[in-house]
Amino acid sequence: MTMPGQPEPPERSESEIRWRRLERRRERVFRQIQRDRAGGHKVPTWVLAAILGLLLAGWAYLIVTS
């Protein structure tokens, strides 16, 4: 709501809205990549891969022996 005597702010065009949305998304992705590159992971990737391999091997063993 504007005060009397003050001009109304111009409306944003659809292209401007899309451009700002794209810029926010790019910034969000950039921050996420920087955070991932910094490391600080709680569990190393090789441990997660080993657990997944054990689960798959156990599942395959259950299928073969049943």
Q: Does residue 6 lie in a domain region?
A: no
Q: Does residue 53 lie in a domain region?
A: yes
Report pLDDT for 44: 85
Report pLDDT for 1: 54
State the virtual CA torsion across 57, 58, 63, 66 in degrees, nearest 10: 140
| Mean pLDDT value across residues 26-31 | 96
Q: Does residue 7 lie in a domain region?
A: no
The whole domain housing 25 covers 14-65
pTM: 0.47
Q: How confident is the model at residue 43 (pLDDT cuts 50, 70, 90)?
A: confident
Is residue 11 predicted with pLDDT exceeding 70? yes
Work out how many domains the chain is built from and give that number.
1
Alpha-carbon distance 43 to 52, whole Å? 13
